Structure 1
Amino acid sequence: MVNNQVSEGYERPIQKLKVRRNALAPIAKLPPELLHRIFAIIKEESERLLQPKQSLTHPPTHDTQAALHALRAWNVVTHVCNRWRQIALDASTLWTNPPIRSRLWTMEMLKRSKTAGLALDLASDTSSSNRTVISHIKHIKTLKFQYDSAEALNFLFMGLSDEAPHLENLSIIVNVCHGSAFLLRGREVVRFLLQPLTFRGTKALRRLTLSGVDVRWDSALFHGLSHLSLRNLSAECKPTWRQLMDMLELMPELQALVLDSAFPLETPSSSFPLHLPNLKELAVYSVDAEVQSFFSRISFPPLERLYVGCRSAGPSLVDYASVITAVSRSCPFVDTFGVADIRKLKIHQRMASKYGFCIEVFRDLSRPNTFESNLEFLFGSHIDDPAIHPGNKIVRDVFGRLGFVNLTDLTIIAGTMLHARVLANTFGRLPRLNTVCISALISRKMINVLAMDTDDPTKKGLDDILFPTLHTIVFESVAFKPSALYDARVEDVQDLLIQRCEYGAPIQHLRFNCCPFLKRTDIARFSEIVPDVQWDEQEIYSFKLGDRGHGLGLGPFLIPCFGF
């Protein structure tokens, strides 16, 4: 009892001293407006770090948990002191992104946001809150839906007739790839149809994403957009070429356009191309005839990013060179693709994709490898003979049209089975290529391409060798297992290094990343030839895995995964 009284006697003076100290601290003198701005920056940064990264090349992914995680990250400012808490609670713009998965937080934040513009991310599994928050349509700025059921989305939109004057960004994704968006009832196909009056008065709308959604092509939603993405349209909903061009003509400020399986089935009539003067990013995916038809009907200025996905509609091979030519004619400028500025190129396979063969090019080497490419070609074709790899024709056609003479970095990812002659003829004479990154199934073949022909004594000059400016080789996920069928062997790499020294084109830098069968003695041998050798020291023993891979030397840990 006495101890409690003593403690209480000290606690009050101590609390008063803490309050006085806080009041005298320099940060306490910051005006509310500045603190509000600081809180807003913390909130924006938390949301940026926790939201899934968006890409022009892939459909947007919605993470309804991200808003809750971001809220927990920045909401700590309300627990620092009473003054900070009151400033945060009075700032309605801090509470505009309610975490839909938490109904209690959502209801509270709807109150705190007052009339500030809301950002809502709704999904099938948050239905308990969806109808409540969508009733605030008059105050919504960003509205995103990701549903697995067309019926559930139709039910959600019943009775939604209020205008949306502040809506700037609308995204509706019905997951047709999961097979549940189109529900069969006997012979009737139930699709989600966006009714013309569902969103009215959307004068502020600038970004529109529709995937697996049927829509009327005279909809007011298409007026004045700066960003448009249309994917996975049903055959019944696809526009005519005239409807598609008329729709695009309503968007003179259009900056980014994605069309994936959204082209007319009819043969286009000849007409004067529509010019998109402000276009900066364009992504087009379809069969070769539709891709060529589209690019014959539009023109645009030089783009920051251009992605073209092209596949064959039947058993015949795609004429990839004609596709490249059709694309280049859409730009009235000399260098449509910005070839002169291209510095890095990556060739790889996209598994389980209808566009399996991918060529990506980058202009800025200072960006991390995960940064979006500036130019991307995705190709897929029907091949009757599995021994014929379509990548060889693709590489010949693309590089026959685009030289990439200023290329300095080349990356060839596992699974790309290109012929040695194609590799040599395409890349062997590039005048500025100094770095080659190779991995897995292409490594042994690439070593053979880089090797010199020492049996010909007359060819000893720098002009007689392939890759004359090469000074760096990077091995990524190459096991170096002796019994592997496609892996490079240590002895072959050593011979290559010695041969290039003899020809006056020595390798200066070697990099080994995730090469588990390499040994320290191997690295020591390389270091006697190359002045700079770097190894991540990941040996097979550190993985504690058995001898697996069915002759390829590749366990599951060796296969890398690569992915508005």
Structure 2
Amino acid sequence: MLRLAAGDSLTPQPRNIAKAKPDGHLDNARGNIDTEIDRVTLYLCDLRSQRNNLSPISKLPPELMSRVFSLCASAESHPRFRGHVAFDSLTVMPEWVKVTWVCRRWREVAIGCAALWTKVDFSSSKWTAEMLKRSKNASLVVKADLTFVSPRLVRTVELATSHISRTRELELLAPKQTLEALARQLRSPAPFLESLHLSSSRFSNHLADGPCSLPDDIFEGQVPQLRRLELYRCRFKWNSPLLSTTLTHLHITEASNHNPARPTLSQILPLLQGMPLLQSLHLEYAAPVPSMDVAELWVPENITLRNLTSISLIDVPHNCAALLSRLDLPSRTDMKLTCLAPAGTQDEFSRILPILSKHYAPTEKGDLSIQSLSIEALDDTRMRFRGWAAQGILPRNGDHFTLMDGTGPRDDITPRIDLVLSWHTWSIDKPARLIESIAPLLSLEHLQTLSVKGFEYVPKKVWVDTFGKLTQLGVIRVSRSVAGFVDSLYQDNGSELKVPMPGLRKIQFEGADLAEQVNRINVFNVLQRNLTSRIAYERERDDDVGNIQVISMTRCSGIRDDQVSSLRRILSVLWDGLVGYGEDTIDLDEFQYFGEWAHWPDVEGELEDFEEMFGLPF
């Protein structure tokens, strides 16, 4: 390699190499020229390296540069930068690899940093082998989606899983046959494995593809560091060593309620009792079925899970209730239940009511009390309750929400309660009865924000009896039918509670039909009458009880300019100015761009609907 010395010329002097060969052998002349080009190229590279060494960034120590490169790689793997995809792509090389192309020093530092190459990429078998080599003996993160891939890529993943002895995270999504073949290769101990996620894909060439069966001797039963276990459509024995005492997260998902591999209570309760570190438990169609077997009757009544912060169950109501009734949960545990009542059942959800009443009983400190509540009709036979121990939360699309201070959309505050109820037979009064029976069990004394969305009708009695005495309730948002709510704002029938919801300060109508009828009177006229009565009641008592200050109307139908003007004489009105707009109005812009925070359809749920209709995995 050339180096500049004192007195050296900065520009190499070209020589007439062709004249040095008077015999005319052109091949030799060309070879000499190529040699000279290589020499000059190396000379220029050396000059560039010397110049780069004089730049300020070259003075950074290698440890700091390695840290910067690692942050670059981790930022790219964040869902915000990868389109919210759960599994990594198998076809695109990571962008952060370009740091190795900047200069010689950056390349040396990057290649020498083993931790930078631990998240294995599967763009090609050669690239995978190179990453495994550069990672040296560092712990690996292996994540691969093999749903639609060639056998060559499967062999590439097998190359990575052969390093299971130093793998920290293993995440595989594949059709049944592929996943079973990969699982059979996992026969050696995994002493450093902390997270295992195996998912049997439903999108294979066989519509009737069943769940994957995991071998009994997977990892030779040696996973001493396993913290997180997530299995989707994977069958295993309930005494498997994968169900380790070190687990902090246990997520097991089956495809449907017809799961013959469910555990018994006598199996799952001692198993959970032996997981003292468990923080998150998710069981989808994997809860035990209640039995009158003698062995079941000898199971201890209560199992205490002291460190559990969240529990999620998706199942028929009596299965959910059977398990929850045997668990002693900390009061801080967030509960997510999806109860799918079978056809032909009566009083489907009565068994979960005592569980809700016990878990959401008022606490001494009151710091876990529900301050924001959302009640939403998902369709004619499904509804959802969500409650947060934080004020000012107004749900938007999906699991995103905004806060009353204007921040959002957000999804970083977990609901204390997330309850989805599904039944088979439509009934107009079913949602109202469920609101009356469930909402009071959630201890709503500190409720400040309420959202009621999408219901065909919620009667006045439900509003008054359920929410009428809540003195801290200050904001209510109602969409679709508002007749029952408007009628509940004032009672002139001799009732002691003339002004229900006395702390109410702000009303929001979104997508509401203000042309509804209340006892054959236009709902807008009833609204104006009741607001006037509340103001008169306030003046009569000389206090601000029932003093509603603001009402906002967005995308509402059945409203006119003159009605808004008359309402503004009573209180402040925020109106978007749209006339004749309703929930059923089609806005073509909604089909063009949904934005980063869009809520896309639940494909998994749609697949389950097809399965129910046709009786097979679809």
TM-score bracket relative to the smaller structure:
0.7 to 0.9
CA positional deviation for 1:103: 5.5
Instruction: Name the SS of the counterpart of 1:348 in structure 2.
Output: strand
1:125 match: secondary structure: coil
State which drifts further: 116-125 or 430-439: 116-125
How far the C-alpha of 1:212 sits from its partner, in A, is 1.2
Other-structure match for 2:502? 468
* Correspondence list, 1:449-528, <5 A: 449-450=488-489, 452=490, 464-476=498-510, 478=511, 497-504=531-538, 505-514=546-555
Which of the residues 169, 173, 176 maps onto 1:142?
Answer: 169
Residue 508 of structure 1 aligns with an amino acid whose one-letter code is Q
Aligned residues: 518
Corresponding residue of 2:148 = 125
Q: 2:262 aligns with which of 189, 214, 238?
A: 238
Distance 2:470 2:90 in 1: 45
Question: Residues 159 and 18 (structure 1 numbering): CA distance in 2 closer, same or farther, change over 3 Å?
Answer: closer
In the superposition, the TM-score normalised over structure 1's length comes to 0.77
What is the CA-CA distance between 1:275 and the residue it aligns to?
1.5
How far residue 466 of structure 1 moved from its aligned partner, in angstroms, is 1.7
Distance 1:366 1:163, change over 3 A: farther
Partner of 1:544: none
1:98 matched to 2:120: yes
- Cα distance change, pair 414–327 in 1 and its aligned pair in 2 (3 A): closer
| Distance 1:382-1:522 versus aligned 2 partners, 3 A rule | same
Change (3 A) 1:409 1:327: closer
Q: CA deviation at 1:182?
A: 4.2
Residue in structure 2 matched with residue 58 of structure 1 by the alignment = none
User: Cα offset for 1:166?
Assistant: 1.7
Deviation at 1:444, TM superposition (A): 4.2
In 2, the alpha carbon distance for the partners of 1:305 and 1:62 equals 23
Secondary structure (helix, strand or coil) at the match of 1:324 reads: helix
Contact persistence 1:62–1:146 (CA under 8 A): no
**What RMSD, in angstroms, separates the aligned Cα atoms of the two structures?**
4.4
Q: Distance in 1 between matches of 2:375 and 2:214?
A: 39
**Aligned residue number for residue 423 of structure 2:** 381
Determine the structure 2 residue equivalent to 1:290: 319
Paired with 1:206 and 1:45, the residues of 2 have a C-alpha distance of: 24
Report if aligned partners of 1:321, 1:401 keep a CA contact under 8 Å in 2. no
Cα 1:16–1:437, aligned 2, differ >3 Å: closer, same or farther? farther
Whether the aligned pair in 2 keeps the contact of 1:157 and 1:198 (CA below 8 Å) is yes
Q: Does 1:83 align with 2:113?
A: no
Cα deviation for residue 311 of structure 1 reads 3.5
C-alpha contact 1:174 1:181 (8 A) present in aligned 2: no
Question: Does residue 398 of the first structure (1) align with residue 401 of the second (2)?
Answer: no
The CA deviation at 1:239 is 1.4
SS in 1 for 2:78: helix
Do 2:451 and 2:478's aligned partners in 1 also have CA atoms closer than 8 Å? Answer: yes
Q: Distance in 2 between matches of 1:220 and 1:403?
A: 41
Cα deviation digits, residues 531-550 of structure 1 (max 9, x gap): 47374x7x589xxxxx998x
- Name the amino acid aligned to 1:377: L
Is the counterpart of residue 447 in structure 1 residue 469 in structure 2? no
* Structure 2: runs of 5+ lacking an equivalent: 1-12, 14-40, 394-399, 402-410, 539-545, 592-597, 603-618
Of residues 357, 374, 377, the one that matches 1:349 is 377
Deviation per CA, 1:114-135: give whole Å up to 9, x if none: 3222222222124514333222
CA gap 1:240/1:521 in 2 versus in 1, 3 angstroms: same
Compared with structure 1, are the counterparts of its residues 499 and 65 closer, same or farther at alpha carbon in structure 2 (3 Å cutoff)?
farther
Tell me, in whole angstroms, the C-alpha distance in 2 between the residues paired with 1:490 and 1:327. 37
Contact 1:138/1:165 (<8 A) preserved: yes
SS at match of 2:482: helix
Q: What is aligned with 1:196?
A: 216
Instruction: Note the C-alpha offset of 1:258.
Output: 0.9
Bigger Rg, which one: 2
**Is the aligned partner of 1:161 residue 2:182?**
no
CA distance in 1, matches of 2:88, 2:517: 44
1:113 aligns with 2:135: yes
For residue 203 of structure 1, what is the amino acid of its counterpart? Answer: P
The structural deviation recorded for 1:357 is: 1.6
| Counterparts of 1:260 and 1:286, CA distance in 2 | 6
- Contact in 2 for aligned 1:471/1:506 (Cα 8 Å): yes
**Structure 2 partner of 1:427:** 467
Q: TM-score, normalised by structure 2?
A: 0.71
- Alignment of 1:63 with 2:87, yes or no, is yes
Note the C-alpha offset of 1:306: 1.3
In structure 1, distance between residues paired with 2:530 and 2:551: 12
Deviation at 1:395, TM superposition (A): 1.5
Q: 2:61 aligns with which of 31, 38, 44?
A: 31
Unaligned runs of 5+ in 1: 6-10, 55-60, 184-189, 542-546
**Could you tell me whether the CA contact under 8 Å between 1:277 and 1:300 is conserved in 2?**
yes
Aligned residue runs from structure 1 range 251-400, under 5 A? 251-267=275-291, 268-272=296-300, 273-318=302-347, 320=349, 322-326=351-355, 329=358, 335=363, 341-351=369-379, 356-365=382-391, 369=401, 370-371=411-412, 372-383=414-425, 386-400=426-440
Secondary structure of 1:165's counterpart equals: coil
Once residues 510 and 21 of structure 1 are traced to their aligned partners in structure 2, the CA distance between those partners, rounded to angstroms, is 67
Cα deviation 1:193-252 (Å, max 9, x = unaligned): 111122332111110011211111111100121110112176331112111123223312
- State the shift of 1:257 in Å: 0.7
User: 1:480–1:157: structure 2 CA closer, same or farther, 3 Å change rule?
Assistant: same
Report the Cα distance in structure 1 between the residues aligned to 2:271 and 2:108, rounded to whole angstroms. 48
